[in-house]
């Protein structure tokens, strides 16, 4: 008998509302999941339900092989993508898939977003790449995301949206928000001029500083 924790279901419910109300997705699109590192169980949004209507009982709980452990709803159609990321990235405990406007602009152009702002450098790094196109909900999409994401925190899905990961929901949400803000700035900057990209060595310094020295001492 595997232990299912209500706290994770509630975090999916609240997290979905935050994705929606921060403008990172629309309608029933996008999805989110969390992994409990102790049990390995994955908690994921139900398929095709409006975020504001989802309650804890609608959250689907799966094991690492995609077997449903608890929940009466069908899981998000992108459950393969979520499970594949957890399988390849032991550091990841939260996966968010957004349909955010400005991130999607660059996905539509099949272009990467470079480090043009400090918060992006600190939280994400040198760039957010764009994978190649695969149909939603497919094993091929899951495989292309694994290959293109590598060890990074975010990836653009062409003509679709973005995937952001973190060691917690809060971290993954911050990545999505900074990616979207940077995509917005990059679009505006390119509309009136040629944006200067931060030097790779400066990006490394900022990212490292964020990891080791930023914030209050514990």
- Determine whether 78 is an active site residue: yes
Q: Toward Zn ion, which CB reaches closer, 82 or 207?
A: 82
**Cα(168)–Cα(157) distance, integer angstroms:** 22
Which region, judged by CB under 5 A, interacts with Zn ion, from 41-49, 153-161, 176-184, 187-195?
153-161
Q: What are phi and psi of 164, to 5 degrees?
A: -130, 140
Q: Where in 63-122 is the site for Zn ion (CB under 5 A)?
A: none
Q: What share of the chain is helix, strand, coil (3-state, %, to 5)?
A: 45, 15, 40
CB of 109 to Zn ion, least distance (A): 18
Q: Toward Zn ion, which CB reaches closer, 16 or 161?
A: 161
**Cα(3)–Cα(63) distance, integer angstroms:** 11
CB of 77 to Zn ion, least distance (A): 8
Q: Toward Zn ion, which CB reaches closer, 4 or 105?
A: 105
Which region, judged by CB under 5 A, interacts with Zn ion, from 16-24, 48-56, 147-155, 158-166?
158-166
Which region, judged by CB under 5 A, interacts with Zn ion, from 34-42, 147-155, 161-169, 208-216?
161-169
CB of 126 to Zn ion, least distance (A): 25
CB of 118 to Zn ion, least distance (A): 29
Total residues in contact with Zn ion, by rule CB under 5 A:
1
CA distances from 140 to 80, 84, 135, 145 (A): 10, 11, 8, 9
What tokens does 142 get? 């899951």
Report the chain's C-alpha Rg in angstroms.
Answer: 17
Which region, judged by CB under 5 A, interacts with Zn ion, from 53-61, 66-74, 159-167, 200-208?
159-167
Q: Toward Zn ion, which CB reaches closer, 45 or 207?
A: 45
Q: Toward Zn ion, which CB reaches closer, 46 or 161?
A: 161
CB of 1 to Zn ion, least distance (A): 33
DSSP-H helix ranges across 43-117: 79-88, 101-108
Q: Which of 6, 38, 70, 78 is catalytic?
A: 78
CA 170 to chain centre: 11
Which residues is 97 bridged to in the sheet? Answer: 31, 163
Q: What are phi and psi of 133, to 5 degrees?
A: -75, 135
What tokens does 149 get? 């994401």
Contacting positions for Zn ion (CB under 5 A) = 161
Catalytic positions are 78
């Amino acid at each position: 008998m595997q232990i299912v924790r209500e706290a994770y279901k509630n975090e999916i419910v609240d997290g979905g509302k935050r994705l929606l109300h921060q403008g990172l997705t629309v309608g029933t699109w996008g999805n989110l999941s969390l992994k409990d590192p102790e049990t390995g169980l994955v908690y994921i949004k139900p398929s095709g339900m409006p975020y504001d209507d989802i309650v804890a009982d609608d959250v689907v709980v799966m094991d690492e092989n995609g077997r449903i452990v608890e929940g009466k709803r069908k899981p998000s159609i992108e459950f393969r993508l979520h499970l594949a990321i957890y399988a390849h990235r032991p550091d990841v405990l939260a996966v968010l898939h957004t349909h955010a406007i400005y991130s999607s602009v660059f996905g539509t152009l099949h272009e990467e977003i470079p480090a043009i702002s400090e918060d992006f450098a600190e939280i994400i790094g040198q760039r957010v790449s764009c994978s190649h196109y695969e149909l939603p909900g497919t094993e091929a999409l899951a495989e292309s995301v694994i290959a293109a994401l590598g060890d990074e925190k975010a990836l653009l899905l062409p003509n679709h949206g973005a995937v952001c990961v973190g060691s917690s929901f809060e971290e993954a949400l911050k990545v999505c928000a900074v990616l979207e803000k940077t995509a917005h700035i990059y679009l505006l900057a390119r509309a009136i001029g040629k944006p200067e990209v931060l030097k790779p060595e400066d990006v490394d310094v900022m990212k490292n500083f964020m990891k080791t020295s930023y914030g209050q001492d514990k």
